[in-house]
Amino acid sequence: MSKLNAKTALAVQDIYRPIFSGYFAIVAAYYIFMSVSHFWYFEGAELLVMGGVAVLAAITSLTSFIQLRNPMEATQVERRQLAVNLLMIANVVVALNLGFEPQKMTYFIIMVMIFALASVNFRQSLFSIVVASIALMTFAGRLEKAAFDGYVFLVIAAAMASLSITYFLRKSIIRIANARLDAIDQLEEVKVVSETLRERSLSDSLTALPNRRAFFERLRELKAQAAQDPIQNDAVWLVLIDLDGFKSVNDIHGHLVGDLLLQAVSGRLNSTKIEGAHVSRMGGDEFNVIVSGGQSQDDIAQWCNDLLKKLAEPYSIEGRSVRISGSIGCKQIDLELDMRSQINQADFALMTAKGQGKNRAVMFNREHAKQAEERYAIEEALRSANLAAEIELVFQPQVDLERGVIVRAEALARWSSPQIGTIQPGKFIQIAEDSGLIGGITLMVVEKAFAELQSWEKPIPISINLSSHDLISDMIIDAIIDQSTALKIDPAMVEFEVTETAMMTDFEKATKNLDRLAGAGFAIALDDFGTGYSNFNYLRTLPIGKLKVDRSFMDNPGDPMTEKVLFSLAGMARTLGVHCLLEGIEDEVDLLMAKRVGADAVQGYLFGAPMTSADLHDAVIGFSGSQAEGQKAAG
Ligand code: C2E
Ligand code: MG
Ligand code: MG
C-alpha cells in the first residue's frame, strides 16, 4: 500500500480512533477478567506465568486505551497494538504449553480475524497474522497429519481472509479520510472566498476606504460594545464631510481627474486621522468619519479645522493643480438612540455649513435641533401633501418701464399644510429641493399656471420658476412640454425663470434642457442675477431673453456703488440683446434708480405684492387706466 501523506495519515488515524480504543478497551476488560480468573485455575509457577502474561496484556491495553484519549503518533499506536497482539498470542502459547488442548488452537484463528479488523496498518496486521499462524502451525505439528492439515488450511484461509479484510477496510478508510480532507479543503476555500467577498463588500472600489455598509457595520459594532459595557461608554462623534464644488472639477477636468482627486482626498483623510477614527466613503464626494476615541468637543472641532486646511491644500493631479474644499457637519452621537435621526442631525449640521458659505465645520447644537425638527416636520408634511389641494398660485406683476404697463406676472407658489399651516415659500421650496420633492411641486405649479392662463379672458404672459432639479430632469422638462402641447398653450405666453446656481448643478444637462424649452418656444429668464457666479461668458451661449437682477441690490438704493453696478449690468444686458428687470422695487426711490440705470422692467411691492389671479386682472385694468389717466394729464 502506498505511503500516506502526513495529512491523510492523521485523518486515517482519526477514523480508526474509535476502533483502536474499542479494541484496547475490550482486550483490557478481557485480560483483567482473565488475570482474576487465573487465580482459581492455576497455582505456583503456572499462576505466575499465566497471570503474568494476562496482567501484562491487561496493563498494556488499559494504558493504551487511556493514552489514546490524547492524540498519539501513528507509530506509537502501532507499537502499542503490536505489543497487545503479541501478548495475546503469548497468552495462548503459554496456556497451550502448560496444558495442550487442541480446541484452544482456534484462539489463534479468532485472533487473526481480530488483528485484521483492528490493525493500524497492513504491515502491522501482516506481522501479527504471520506470528499467530506460525504459532498455530507449531502447535498443530503435535497433531495427526489429517488434523494438522485441517488446521493449516483453516489458518491459511483465515489469514487470507483477514489480510483481504485489512486491505479493503484500510482502502475504504483512506478513501473516507481523503473525502473528509477534500471537504475540509473545500470548506477552507469557501471560507477564504466568503471572507474576500465580505472584505470587498465592505470596501469602496475607487478609494479602498471602507464603504457605506462598513460605516453602518462600524456603528452596529460600537452599539453592541456600548450595550455590553455602558460604563466604558466614551464619547462617539459622527463627522460628515462633503466636498464643495466637486461636480465642477468633474465637469472642467473630466471624470478621470475627478476619480484621482477622490483618491487623493481619501489619502488626506486617512493621514489626518484622529485616534479611534473610522473613515468611510459613502459614495460620490461624501465621506463619513466615526470617531470613537473619547475626544472632547474641542478636540473634534480642532481636528475638523485641521482637516479642512489639509483638504484645501492644492492637489497635483495629472500635471494639473486642482483645488477643492470640504464642508463638515459634526454631531456627538448617543449609541442608545435611533441612529437614523442622529445621522440626519449631523447631515443638518453639514447643510448648515454649506449654507453658511462652505469650507467650514459646523457642530450640531440645540438651535439646529429646533430648526431640524421643524425642517423634518415640513418635509414629512410635504411628502404626504395633497399638492393639488394644498398648493395655490399667486401672481406678481412685472411692469415695463417705458410703456408703464403690466407686461407679465410671475407665478409664485403658496403652500398651506393642514398639519402645519402656511409655510414661507423660501422655506418649503428649499426643503423640497433638498429632499427631492420639488419635481412634484413644479409640475403642480405648471399645471395650475397653464389652467389659469387658459381660463383668462385676456391672457397675461406669465413666468414660472424652475429649480435646479427640474432643469436637469429630462422627465420634468418632457412633462412640461407635453402638457403645454396637450393644452394648446401658446409658448410665447410662458417664460421660465432659472437661476445661475441651478444651472451650475450640471451645466451641460441644464443647457440642453434650456435649449429644449427655448426650442419649444418658451422664453427664458435668468433669476436672482448678480448673486451667483455672474459668469458673463456663458450668457452668450444660453437662450436667455431676460436678466432678473436680484432684489438684494435694492437694499441700499442711495449707494452710488450699487447704482454703478446696476448701470453696468443693464448696459451689459443691452449689449447681449436681453431685457433687464430689476426686482424688489418697493418705493419711488427704487423706481427712480431703476429708471436711471436703464432697466427695461421692474417687479416689486410698489406695483403689487404677489396676488390672486382675480386681483392681478383688476391690477392690469386699474394700472392701464391710471397710466392712461396719467398720460392724459401729462398731455
Ligand atoms: P423669486 O423667484 O426671486 O421670487 C421673487 C420673490 O421676491 C417672491 O418671494 C416675492 O414675493 C418677493 N418679492 C417681490 N417683490 C418684492 C419686494 O418689493 N420686496 C421684497 N422684499 N420681496 C419682494 P416669494 O414668493 O416668497 O418666493 C421666494 C422664492 O421662492 C422665489 O424667489 C423663488 O425662488 C421661490 N419660489 C416661489 N414659488 C416657486 C415655484 O413655484 N417654484 C420654484 N421652483 N420656486 C418658487
Ligand atoms: Mg423668480
Ligand atoms: Mg428672483
| One domain, residues 430 and 502 | yes
| One domain, residues 431 and 385 | yes
| One domain, residues 312 and 428 | no
Q: Look at residue 186 and tell me if it is in a domain.
A: no
What is the mean pLDDT of the segment spanning 458-477? Answer: 95
| One domain, residues 280 and 389 | no
Residue 412 CA, ligand 3 centroid: distance in Å: 11
Q: Look at residue 594 and tell me if it is in a domain.
A: yes
Q: Could you tell me how many residues make up the chain?
A: 635
Number of domains in the chain: 3
What is the mean pLDDT of the segment spanning 528-540? Answer: 75
pLDDT tens-place string over residues 96-135? 888 888 888 888 888 888 888 877 778 878 888 888 889 8
The residue from 364, 389, 424 where one domain ends is 364
∠366-372-378 over CA atoms, to 5°? Answer: 150
The residue from 320, 335, 364 where one domain ends is 364
Q: Look at residue 207 and tell me if it is in a domain.
A: no
- Phi first, then psi: give them for residue 314, nearest 5 degrees: -60, 145
Q: Look at residue 204 and tell me if it is in a domain.
A: no
Q: Look at residue 198 and tell me if it is in a domain.
A: no
Q: What CATH number corresponds to the domain at position 439? A: 3.20.20.450
| One domain, residues 549 and 409 | yes
Q: Look at residue 372 and tell me if it is in a domain.
A: no
Residue 517 CA, ligand 2 centroid: distance in Å: 17
Q: Tell me 543's DSSP state.
A: -
User: Residue 31: CB partners within 8 Å, gap ≥ 6?
Assistant: 54, 55, 57, 58, 61, 91
Residue 517 CA, ligand 3 centroid: distance in Å: 20
- Phi first, then psi: give them for residue 53, nearest 5 degrees: -65, -40
| One domain, residues 162 and 227 | no
| One domain, residues 345 and 394 | no
- The whole domain housing 27 covers 6-181
| One domain, residues 355 and 391 | no
| One domain, residues 457 and 489 | yes
| One domain, residues 613 and 517 | yes
Residue 583 CA, ligand 1 centroid: distance in Å: 10
The span from the CA of 331 to the CA of 347, in Å, is 9
Q: What CATH number corresponds to the domain at position 258? A: 3.30.70.270
How far does Cα 136 stand from its chain's mean position? 77
The span from the CA of 381 to the CA of 248, in Å, is 34
pLDDT tens-place string over residues 326-346? 999 999 998 888 888 899 899
- Which helix (H) or strand (E) segment holds residue 28: the answer is helix 6-41
The span from the CA of 139 to the CA of 142, in Å, is 6
Residue 449 has a pLDDT of 98
The residue from 302, 333, 364 where one domain ends is 364
Average pLDDT of the chain to the nearest whole number: 89
Q: Is the pLDDT of residue 496 over 70?
A: yes
Query: Which residue(s) pair with 525 in the sheet?
Result: 497, 546
Residue 111 has a pLDDT of 87
| One domain, residues 329 and 399 | no
pTM confidence score: 0.62
pLDDT bracket for residue 535 (50, 70, 90): low
- Ligand 1 residue neighbourhood (C-beta within 6 Å): 396, 412-413, 425-426, 429, 442, 445, 465-467, 497, 527-528, 551, 584-586, 603-605, 610
| One domain, residues 38 and 119 | yes
pLDDT tens-place string over residues 565-575? 899 889 888 98
Q: Is the pLDDT of residue 634 over 60?
A: no
- Take atom 21 of ligand 1 and give the residue whose Cα is closest: 584
Q: Look at residue 269 and tell me if it is in a domain.
A: yes
Q: Look at residue 203 and tell me if it is in a domain.
A: no
CB atoms within 5 A of ion ligand 2 belong to 465, 497, 527
Q: Where are the beta strands (DSSP E) in 466-584?
A: 494-499, 523-529, 546-549, 579-583
The larger pLDDT score, comparing residue 559 to residue 1, is at: 559
